[in-house]
Amino acid sequence: MAEKVWEAHLVHRAEGEPDLLYIDLHLVHEVTSPQAFDGIRLAGRTVRRPDLTIATADHNVPTTSLDLPIEDPISKKQLEVLTANCAEFGITCFNRGDANQGIVHVIGPELGLTQPGMTIVCGDSHTSTHGAFGALAFGIGTSEVEHVLATQSLPLTKPKTMAITVTGSLQPGVTAKDLVLAIIGEIGTGGGMGYVLEYRGEAIEALSMEGRMTVCNMSIEAGARAGMIAPDDVTIAYLEGKEHAPKGEALADAKAAWLAYRTDEGATFDREVFIDASAISPQVSWGTNPAQVAPLSSTVPSPDDFADPAEREAAIRALQYMDLVPGTPLKDIRVETVFIGSCTNSRIEDLRLAASIFEGRKVAEGLRVLIVPGSHRVKAQAQAEGLDVIFTAAGAEWREPGCSMCLAMNPDKLAPGERSASTSNRNFEGRQGRGGRTHLVSPAVAAATAIAGHLASPGDLS
Amino acid sequence: MKPVTVITGRAIPLNRSDVDTDQIIPSDWLKRVERTGFGAGLFSEWRDDRDFVLNDERFQGASILVAGPNFGTGSSREHAVWALMDYGFEAVISSRFADIFFSNCTKQGLLPVTIAPEKASALLEAVTADPSLEITIDVARGTIEVPAIGMSATFTLEPFTTERFLNGWDDIGLTLRNEKDLTNFEGERPAYLPTTA
């Protein structure tokens, strides 16, 4: 599938040079674009295809009331620069408060801009999310952002392919997040480097589009720039009726083209990995990289459990940073904050799942719980379903959309030493705030933890 | 970017695996809209620790970073590369780099040097033991030499990447040579594809 999308976008190929690939959609946000726009201006160039480019403000935006000003002057300036750059070059931009604003990887799909067989890039490593539709989508650096703005293309070397076949079905209560955490635990943070991943098998096919996006989103945490899932009826059903999805006769043409991108029977991959879905239980990260995960029902591992010296060394450092003692049951770990949000888990299905657990219950005494929808559209949908009422009645904070505490560029941060259960994607040192300690979990585990006050699954609640 | 042919200098050992870009340059620094001045933020959280290797006077002025495996994982922020270069690094040596970080290095002219794991470990040890060791990296030959201890290693870049380093070529300029191909391709894109307009 990756190969087919690659070949369909080939603009130029020459011996001894990287292939030049056309880019169908360029997503832009405030953090990785200002220096690229500067580069365009300095060189006297222009944006080649503003009509294939879209911008939104997400990393920096406060998630408190839209009526309040942005207090951080540097964040405020970055958002103003995004608006000015987009106006100058004729790019549609959804800034703070716009009805279409949201996390860049949430709005692309919900607007119907993300479609099978496309090449999609963004100056953000979680662009892999869009691979859930069978698009070849990957994160790029600012130099490449400038390159795409100027030429709508990128010189690239073809990656290797890895098939991750997930057989069987997930047990009830086990989510796409648990699945992808288990996959990362299996192949490691470097396992996917140099590869495009293709997730396949019955457990993948059984996932909703939201679940597929969660899985593809975290491909980068396994080292892979892109992860893909073959388009099927679930994909088409999701796209039908979306604002930018094809309609009428164009839809018929598109459907045929989309399905033709599926990997051929008998196609070979450079590497194959098999995962048994039925053996996976709710997962939680214990360390400071996303491969340091374990089943929630188990205990904090010991560095001695790792044969590889580098992994053992990393475990020692991680346990020290996380202030954890080997052998402690993971469910005994108490947290001070729960964050439900991010491009991994802030879609309507994630919020419905969390709400089903919060309903009729109360957040544990003293706990801070932030629920940050992925976009204004997700927020509006959740409110139409009354989910916000369930969250606030339980004692959680219902916020405005943005990246928020996933990377703590806005005021939503952990204090030094503070511990969180988070539905985001990275548990790096200081990721959610300097000195903060992050446990990555699914929305179900996050909600149950919010109520119990310690890491817990919904089954642990009375 | 500027041409890079031979780099000679001392090295700083960073004996940690999976050094992610959030460590290289924390997100607070990403709010800036400029491309310069990021050196002050390089590894800023770790630099608070007096014992951190960047604070060790014996390594001041080094231009080569020798790191553990899986260097540059995580976020796509090119700010990580800007921070390393602004601090004064011209090359990073590791047994394995994250894909986006590696690509960002090649766009900016920070030389990413991938060597065999056993060579990388040996180099880390040697540099830790002797901060005065001089290392020479030759881009065209794909070699690393540490004459004082008789050590050498080889690395490969794609031939085109090597050429770009040696000549300091600008990617956009190279791509725009194919303007006709781009226009032709655009003329044949399927009508069902979306636009953002």
Per-residue pLDDT, A462: 81
Distance between CA atoms of residues B85 and B190, nearest Å = 42
Chain A contacts of B26, Cβ < 8 Å? 430, 434
Are the beta carbons of B178 and A81 separated by less than 8 Å?
no
Q: Which residue of A has its CA nearest to B73?
A: A223
Query: Which residues of chain B neighbour A194 with C-beta distances below 8 Å?
Result: 99
Closest CA of chain A from B193, distance in Å: 8
Q: What residues pair up with A200 in beta bridges, in sequence order?
A: A165
DSSP 8-state assignment for residue A264:
P
Candidates B78, B105, B114: best to mutate against A (most CBs of A within 10 A) is B78
Q: Which of residues 320-379 of A touch B (CB under 8 A)?
A: none
**Which chain B positions have a beta carbon within 8 Å of A431's beta carbon?**
22, 27
Task: Give the pLDDT of residue A347.
Answer: 98
CB contact under 8 A, A257 and B192: yes
Beta strands in chain B (DSSP E): 6-9, 11-14, 64-67, 91-94, 111-114, 135-138, 143-146, 151-154
C-beta neighbour count of B129 within 10 angstroms: 10
Q: Are A296 and A457 in contact (CB under 8 A)?
A: yes
Give pLDDT tens digits along chain A (462 positions). Answer: 999 999 999 999 999 999 999 999 999 999 999 999 999 999 999 999 999 999 999 999 999 988 888 899 999 999 999 999 999 999 999 999 899 999 999 999 999 999 999 999 999 999 999 999 999 999 999 999 999 999 999 999 999 999 999 999 999 999 999 999 999 999 999 999 999 999 999 999 999 999 999 999 999 999 999 999 999 999 999 999 999 999 999 999 999 999 999 999 999 999 999 999 999 999 999 999 999 999 999 999 999 999 998 899 999 999 999 999 999 999 999 999 999 999 999 999 999 999 999 999 999 999 999 999 999 999 999 999 999 999 999 999 999 999 999 999 999 999 999 999 999 999 999 999 999 999 999 999 999 999 999 999 999 998
Kind of pairing between the strands at A293-295 and B143-146: unpaired
**Contact flag A125-B76 (C-beta cutoff 8 Å):** yes
B172 contacts in A (CB within 8 Å)?
43, 45, 146-147, 150-151
Distances (CA, A) of A174 to A387, A423, A444: 21, 14, 9
Judging contacts by C-beta atoms under 8 Å, the chain A residues touching residue B33 are: 34-35, 38, 77-78, 81
Closest-CA residue of A relative to B35 is: A35
Chain A residues touching residue B79 (CB < 8 angstroms)? 142
Question: What is the pLDDT, as a whole number, of residue A167?
Answer: 98
How far, in Å, CA of A398 to CA of A348, rounded?
14
**Closest approach of B4 to chain A, Cα-based (Å):** 18
Contact A339, A423 (CB under 8 A): yes
Nearest C-alpha in A relative to B196 = A51
- Residue A213 CA, chain-centre distance (Å), reads 7
Pick the residue from chain B with its C-alpha nearest to A124: B76
Q: Which residues lie across from A439 on neighbouring strands?
A: A421
Question: Do β-strands A25-29 and A119-122 pair in parallel, antiparallel, or remain unpaired?
Answer: parallel
Q: What angle do CA A277, A279, A281 make, to 5 degrees?
A: 95
Please give the residue that has the higher pLDDT: either A324 or B1: A324
- Inform me whether the pLDDT recorded for B93 exceeds 90: yes
Closest CA relative to residue A142, chosen from B75, B179, B94, B23:
B75
Report yes or no: A140 and A121 within 8 Å, Cβ to Cβ: yes
CATH of B6-168, one of 3.20.20.70, 3.20.19.10, 3.40.50.2000, 3.30.200.20: 3.20.19.10
Phi, psi of B141 (to 5 degrees): -85, -20
For B3-150, list the strands marked E by DSSP.
6-9, 11-14, 64-67, 91-94, 111-114, 135-138, 143-146
CB contact under 8 A, A289 and B33: no
The answer to whether residue A81 neighbours chain B at the CB level (below 8 Å) is: yes
Option in B32, B181, B193 nearest A74 (CB): B32
Residue in the block written with tokens 């969390």? A354
Mutate to test the interface with A, among B172, B174, B179, B180 (most CBs of A within 10 A): B172
Q: What angle do CA A407, A413, A417 make, to 5 degrees?
A: 110
How high is the ipTM of this complex?
A: 0.93
